[in-house]
Chains A and B, each alone.
Chain A
Amino acid sequence: MLHEPAAELGVDHASKRKTRLGIILFLVYAAIYAVFVIIGVLYTDLFGVKAIGNLNLAVVYGMGLIVLAALMGFIYNLMCSRMEDQMNGGAKI
């Protein structure tokens, strides 16, 4: 397995802000995931309650976590790209 980088990276002035954003978004998602796990451990019957239409909470929450991951990814990319454009002067990092 080769160990060289694929390409040289320039200086990224937005890295600290992106890292902070990443941590915030991670904590938000982790909290929502944690609530899902806590319901599973302590209040399992709650998962059987109808949530949207005829779908129960387990299905809605589970699919919701999957969809939320994609949405948060989009938001993260949008905000990071904006930070890079503002702080790196348009340079490709």
Chain B
Amino acid sequence: MIYDVSVWAIIIFLVFVAVVLGLSFYFGSRTKSASSYYAAGGTIHWGVNGIAFAGDYLSAASFLGICGMIAYAGYDGFLYSIGYLAGWVVALFLVAEPLKRLGKYTFTDALDSKFNSRGIKLTASISTLIVSIFYLIPQMVGAGDLVVPLLGLPHWAGVVIVGAIVIYIVATAGMTSTTYVQFIKGGLLITFSVILTIYILNNGFNLNPNENYHKFENISARIEGDQVVSTSNEKYQIVSQHQVGANTFVKLTADNINTWFKVEKVSDTLANLTEALNITSTSDGVTLYNGAPKSEKRFYQVGHFQKIIHNGVEVQETGPVGPFKFLSIMENSEVVLFKKVIFDDGDDKVTAFYQKPTKGSSILKPGLLLKVGKDSKLWDKINFLSLMIALFFGTSALPHILIRYYTVPSQRAARKSTIVAIVAIGFFYILTLYMGLGAMVNGVNDLESSNMSGPLLAKSFGIGIFSIISAIAFATVLGTVSGLIVASSGAIAHDFVDKYLKVEMTDIQKVRAGKFAAFGVGILAIILGILFKGMNVSFLVGLAFAVAASANLPSILMVIFWKKTTARGIASSIVVGIVSAVTIILLSPSMFERYGLPKADAIVPFDNPAIISMPLSFIVLVVVSLMTQKKKS
């Protein structure tokens, strides 16, 4: 899509980002010594620290990804909200306090606290790096998506801009997101999400989302057999027709513009043609959006009701609604969702987005994306189960979350911080249901990327709130990306080069090694952020959770709870967890689609690896530990 760039939006955005970055540099420059690095944790109230937790945790995946997924697939996106939040229960009840009693503050050191093993140092540092990279990809994708409507630049430019800023920040100032900055970001994100939700409820529902909303054409056609032979609109000429699975599409042309329509047979001689959107890649390398270059803005924003049922009556609009009425009306009404299908039209490759009126009762339960329910296959159910396992166990295995847990000195304050975080994060996730559903029906969705639903919804309510929410999301991405790059460069320079390889380095050399590592990881993040354009960021983070849950969690839990855990058991478990999780992901249907291959040809028939890789990692840890017990003399 092409967006109209607003100068005011850019100004507000830049001012906001400058303030947040300025605060980051200011507080970052004050943390010179080891004790002062954690000093903020020593003096910060548990309530402030709890909101800082939320600011740290709620990355692009939460705001952009979940809202986007709900906007496109309803309740299936909300499953991510439920799973992400449930993961904090695992962290609070099982991991946090026992790990804190080990007295260590990074994932690597915690695992190695009883063993002093080179194997653990090596595998844990690699695991930190891989999990961080998997977590980095969606942040970079989200950053690129944010910049597109703001600056009117292509996605890759947004990724490069964010990558360059973060590399500069980390390489020069070594910024890590401080408790104060995360508190500000977390508080602002939740506050403006509340404001956006109030806008949505106050706006109510309307069959016509806005005055500029595209009026999708419906025309009658005469058919012979299955072939469309003429249409009721004389301006259109029939060009071609394709059967794609159970659906039939016909290409009509008028005024040199090709438009695709979906054919719905009404009788043996009549059919309805409903307008679809399409992106066509022609054989001579040109990409057309609904038959014209992108600059002609024919690829419209979408999202509207088919019918609205309010108090049992079909209405045109509802006026303001309360939060429970909002959900109840959604459930009783019918929304037009857009489904994607890809096919060849001669030498052209066509991606068509056709309208699919969907009952609200289907939108507000699982099944539109994750394919559970009576028509689902075994692998669909396994995929659903695997995703819910990954989300539940992933949070407590993320290295950059574990370390933030210990920025307060007492266990009681740490507990209270976590509970404040759970309340804040949980409240935000409930708001995502309203923001996502609001985006679904307010005509704002960009079918090229689901990640922008939240900010574009804000844009429909005003440039001011759009700019501020985009700036908050952008600052969140900057903070998360810089934190991940610092963690990754630390895993390389400190854990791997210094501790594992035992390369002798002066302090200056160590700092330089860290900066080189940060530069390398940053470049890799840019490349991957461009390659994964268009993928929903919450889905990508779900994969990061699966890798973390498989590689890290078995080791963490067994170090805490099982005395027979050995160093080799831990190292083997991490390796098996990483290899199995990453292998399954690379051979999954979603990745095959990314490779340009049919999803049905994927070697592994499900996307999320946790159901296989996590139990496998546990089994390996137990077996290897039992085999490598120290003999008692």
Taken residue by residue from 5 to 29, chain A's Cβ proximity to chain B (1 for < 8 Å, 0 otherwise) reads as: 1110100100100110011011001
Say which residue of A22, A42, A63 sits within 8 Å of B94 (CB atoms): A22
Is B47 an interface residue, CB under 8 A from the partner?
no
Contacts of A42 in B (CB 8 A): 381
Among B88, B373, B490, max chain A CB count under 10 A is at: B373
- A residues in contact (CB < 8 Å) with B: 1-7, 9, 12, 15, 18-19, 22-23, 25-26, 29-30, 33, 36-37, 40-42, 44-45, 47-48, 53-59, 62-63, 65-67, 69-70, 72-74, 76-77, 80-81, 84, 92-93
Given A1-B403, A41-B372, A41-B384, also A6-B93 (CB < 8 A) = no
Interface residues of B in 423-442 (CB under 8 A from A): 423, 426, 429-430, 433
Contacts of A76 in B (CB 8 A): 92-93, 415, 419
Say which residue of A6, A26, A37 sits within 8 Å of B388 (CB atoms): A37
Contacts of B62 in A (CB 8 A): none
Which of the segments B202-210, B341-349, B362-370 contacts the partner chain?
A: B362-370
Given A12-B411, A53-B324, also A37-B81 (CB < 8 A) = no
Contact A33 B94 (CB under 8 A): no
Contacts of B57 in A (CB 8 A): none
Contacts of A74 in B (CB 8 A): 419
User: How far does the Cβ of B116 sit from chain A's closest Cβ, in whole Å?
Assistant: 13
Interface residues of B in 250-303 (CB under 8 A from A): none
Contact B324 A26 (CB under 8 A): no
Contact B85 A65 (CB under 8 A): yes
Task: Give chain A's interface secondary structure class.
Answer: helix
A12 to B331 alpha-carbon distance, docked (Å): 51
Say which residue of B82, B361, B388, B491 sits within 8 Å of A48 (CB atoms): B361
Say which residue of A3, A26, A44 sits within 8 Å of B365 (CB atoms): A44
Is B195 an interface residue, CB under 8 A from the partner?
no
User: How far does the Cβ of B326 sit from chain A's closest Cβ, in whole Å?
Assistant: 11
Instruction: Name 5 A/B residue pairs within 8 A (Cβ), A-sorted.
Output: A5-B104, A7-B410, A12-B411, A73-B419, A81-B412
Contact B406 A5 (CB under 8 A): yes
User: How far does the Cβ of B490 sit from chain A's closest Cβ, in whole Å?
Assistant: 4
Interface residues of B in 89-113 (CB under 8 A from A): 89-90, 92-94, 97-98, 100-101, 103-106, 109
Given A41-B372, A62-B78, also A3-B97 (CB < 8 A) = no
- Kindly report which residue of chain B lies nearest to residue A62, judged by CB atoms: B82
- Kindly report which residue of chain A lies nearest to residue B488, judged by CB atoms: A1
Contacts of A77 in B (CB 8 A): 412, 415-416, 419
A18 to B58 alpha-carbon distance, docked (Å): 28
Is B494 an interface residue, CB under 8 A from the partner?
yes
Say which residue of B86, B109, B403, B487 sits within 8 Å of A33 (CB atoms): B86
A4 to B78 alpha-carbon distance, docked (Å): 38
- Kindly report which residue of chain A lies nearest to residue B325, judged by CB atoms: A54
Contacts of A18 in B (CB 8 A): 97
Contacts of B106 in A (CB 8 A): 1, 3
9 closest A-B pairs by CB:
A7-B409, A1-B490, A54-B328, A6-B38, A47-B365, A22-B93, A26-B93, A73-B419, A58-B365
A29 to B105 alpha-carbon distance, docked (Å): 27
Say which residue of B97, B328, B362, B490 sits within 8 Å of A19 (CB atoms): B97
Is B458 an interface residue, CB under 8 A from the partner?
no
Is B618 an interface residue, CB under 8 A from the partner?
no
Contact A69 B37 (CB under 8 A): no
Contacts of A7 in B (CB 8 A): 38, 42, 409-410
Task: Give chain B's interface secondary structure class.
Answer: helix
Contact B384 A58 (CB under 8 A): no
- Kindly report which residue of chain A lies nearest to residue B393, judged by CB atoms: A30
Is B16 an interface residue, CB under 8 A from the partner?
no
Is B422 an interface residue, CB under 8 A from the partner?
yes
Contact A69 B392 (CB under 8 A): no
Contacts of B34 in A (CB 8 A): 2, 4
- Kindly report which residue of chain A lies nearest to residue B87, judged by CB atoms: A69
User: How far does the Cβ of A42 sit from chain B's closest Cβ, in whole Å?
Assistant: 8
Is B385 an interface residue, CB under 8 A from the partner?
yes
Is B374 an interface residue, CB under 8 A from the partner?
yes
Contact A56 B422 (CB under 8 A): no
Given A53-B324, A56-B364, A70-B419, also A93-B410 (CB < 8 A) = yes
Contact A84 B412 (CB under 8 A): yes
Is B75 an interface residue, CB under 8 A from the partner?
yes
User: How far does the Cβ of A78 sit from chain B's closest Cβ, in whole Å?
Assistant: 10
A62 to B423 alpha-carbon distance, docked (Å): 15
A73 to B486 alpha-carbon distance, docked (Å): 31
Q: Supply 20 further A-B pairs (C-beta < 8 A) apart from A4-B38, A5-B103.
A: A2-B37, A2-B105, A3-B109, A5-B104, A6-B407, A22-B97, A23-B94, A25-B93, A30-B392, A40-B79, A44-B366, A56-B331, A59-B364, A65-B86, A73-B418, A76-B93, A77-B412, A77-B415, A84-B411, A93-B412
Is B21 an interface residue, CB under 8 A from the partner?
no
Contacts of B491 in A (CB 8 A): 1
Contact A66 B426 (CB under 8 A): yes
Given A55-B327, A62-B78, A80-B415, also A29-B93 (CB < 8 A) = yes
Given A29-B89, A77-B416, also A41-B97 (CB < 8 A) = no
Contacts of A67 in B (CB 8 A): 426
Among B34, B374, B409, max chain A CB count under 10 A is at: B409
